[in-house]
Amino acid sequence: MTAEAASAKSPQLFGHPKGLTFLFATEMWERFSYYGMRALLVLYMVKHLLQPERAETVIGYGALKSGLEFLFGPLGIQPLSSHIYGLYTALVYLTPVLGGLIADRWLGQRRSVIVGAVLMAIGHFMMAFESLFLFALAALILGNGAFKPNISTQVGGLYAPGDPRRDRAFSIFYVGINIGAFFSPLVCGTLGEIYGWHYGFAAAGIGMLVGTLIYVAGWHTLPPDERMRRAGKPGAPLDREEWRRILALATLFVPVSLFWATYEQQGNTIALFADTQTDRTLNLLIWQGQIPITWFQAFNPLMIFAFTPLVIALWAWQARRRNEPSTVVKMALGCFGVALANLVLLAAVWQAGGGKASWLWLVGYFAIITIGELYLSPIGLSLVTKVAPARVVSLVMGLWLATSFVGNLIGGFLGSFWSVVETGQFFMMIAVVAAFAGAAILAFSRPLQPILKT
C-alpha cells in the first residue's frame, strides 16, 4: 500500500487524520515552552543575569561579550541583551537546516522529533543554574533544530498530494502553536516575574515534557518516514523542475527574513517598551493594578484565535469573487501589516509627548501585527510542503525556517539601537524595514506565480 493510500485510510477525527490531533497537541506544548522562556529572556538578562555582580558567574560570558563587542563595539546591558536574544532566536531557526538534513538521510522525522524534544526539556531545566545559562541556550537551539522542521513536515505527510485539506490543516496546526504561545506568558511569565525567574523556566521545561509524552502516545497515528525518503530514487539528482521550485522559494528568503527581523521585536524591544514607556494601569471592578509585562506577550496568540476564522472567511469570500490574493501577494501584505503596526506605536509615542503611552496602543499594535502574521507565516509553511520536492522536504523546510535565523540576527542588531535613538525614530526604522520587505515580495509576485502555482 502506498503512503498516500495509507494516509487516506488512516483514522479520522473531525474530518482530518487523527495524527493531526497529536501533532497539534505536541506543537502546542513545545510552543508553550519556547514562548514561556522567550517572554522572560530579555527581562531576565536586563534586570538580573547580566548585572555586573552576576554576569561573570556565567560560564563563557566573557568570551561571548568580547566577540560581540569586537563586531559591534562597546555594549551596555540592554544592547548586549538584545544581541544575545537575537543570536539565540536566530540559531533556533538555523539548526533546523541540519535537523531536516539528518532526518531526511538518516534518523527520519519521528525519531528526530523525540531527540529534539528531550534536548529542549533538558535546556529549560538547565536555565535554573545561572552559570549554565549559555549551555542551556545551546541545548535549546540544538533541540529545536531537530524538532521544528520535522514536526511541520509530518503535518503535510498526513495528506496525499492534492488533498484540499492540507492548507486548512496548517491553519489548525497554527492555532495549536498559538494556544501554547498564549498561555505560556501567563503561566511562565507570571511565575518568573512574581515568584522568581527559575520557576518560570522550570514551568517551560515541564511543558516540553508533556508535549513529548503526547507525541509518543500518538506514534501509531503519524505518517511513516518512508513517505518522504522514497518519493524519489535514492541518490538521484534533482531534476530541472525541482530546482526551479527550490529557487523560487529561495527568492523569497531575503524579504521574509526582513519580515521576521521586524516581527520578532515583540519579545525584545516591545517588552522593554511595555516595561518602561507604557502605562500598564488596569482598573476593573474585580481587579485593579499593573498589567504584568510578560502578559503583553499573550496578546498576539490570543488575537490569532480571534482573527484566524475571520481571515479564512475573508479569503473564502474573495475566492468566490475570484479576487483572492495569491500566496506571494498575501505574504507582501503581511509585511505591510508589520510596518503599519509600528507606525501605530510611533503615533503612541507622539501622543504621549514624553510620558507613558496607554497600554491600549499596544493592543492596536498587536492586532495589526497579528493580521500581518496570518498573511505570511502559516501559508509559508503550507507553501513549502506543496512546492518543495518530497524527497528533500524536511531539508527545504529547514532552509525556509532559516529565514528566521537571518531575521533574528538582523532583529537583534536593530534592537540594539533601542537605547541609542529616540523611541519614535526606532519605530519608524522598523516600519521602513518591514515596508521594504513587502515591496520586494510584491515585485517578485508575478514572475514567481507560474512556478509556485499558487
Residue 438: partners with Cβ closer than 8 Å, 6 or more residues away? 255, 332, 333, 334, 335, 336, 339
Alpha helices for 298-392 (secondary structure H): 299-320, 327-352, 359-374, 377-387
CA dist 331 and 311 (Å) reads 13
CA 36 distance to own-chain centroid: 13
Q: What pLDDT score was predicted for residue 392? A: 78
Residue at 112 is within a domain: yes
Alpha carbon distance 359, 166 (integer Å): 38
Tell me the torsion sign for CA atoms 426, 432, 435, 440: negative
Q: Which parts of the chain register pLDDT below 50?
A: 1-8, 226-232
Task: Return d(Cα 61, Cα 59) in angstroms, integer.
Answer: 6
Q: Tell me whether residue 8 is in a domain.
A: no
Q: What is the pLDDT of residue 11?
A: 55
Q: Tell me, yes or no, whether 63 lies in a domain.
A: yes
271 Cα distance to chain centroid: 16
Q: 16-17 and 12-13: which strand pairing?
A: antiparallel
Q: Which amino acid, 61?
A: Y
9 lies in some domain: no
Convert the pLDDT of each residue in 140-183 to its tens digit.
999 999 998 888 788 878 887 777 677 678 777 877 778 888 89
Q: Which domain holds residue 272?
A: 15-229+239-452
**Three-class DSSP category at 297:** helix
Number of separate domains in the chain:
1
Q: Specify if 328 maps to a domain.
A: yes
Q: b/e per residue, 22-39, with b = 16+ CB within 10 A?
A: bbbbbbbbbbbbbbbbbb
What's the confidence (pLDDT) of residue 5? 43
C-alpha cell at 358: 496607554
Q: In the prediction, which pLDDT does 3 show? A: 43
Tell me if 37 sits within 8 A of 204, measured CB to CB.
Answer: yes
Residue 226: what pLDDT? 46
Give the per-residue pLDDT at 1.
40
Give 13's strand partners: 16
Could you tell me the CA-to-CA distances from 438 to 54, 90, 330 in Å, in that order? 42, 21, 10
Q: Which of these, 281, 250, 419, lies nearest to 357 by C-alpha position? A: 281
- Considering the domain boundaries, does residue 421 fall inside one? yes
Classify residue 422 by its DSSP letter: -
Q: What is the CATH number of the domain that holds 344?
A: 1.20.1250.20
**Nearest residue to 85 (alpha-carbon basis) of 115, 144, 42:** 42
Q: 158 exposed, middle or buried (CB, 10 Å; 0-12, 13-18, 19+)?
A: buried
Model pLDDT, residue 217: 94
Place of cell 532559516: 402
12, β-bridge pairs: 17
Rg (CA), the chain: 22
Identify the CA nearest to 430 among candidates 444, 416, 442: 416
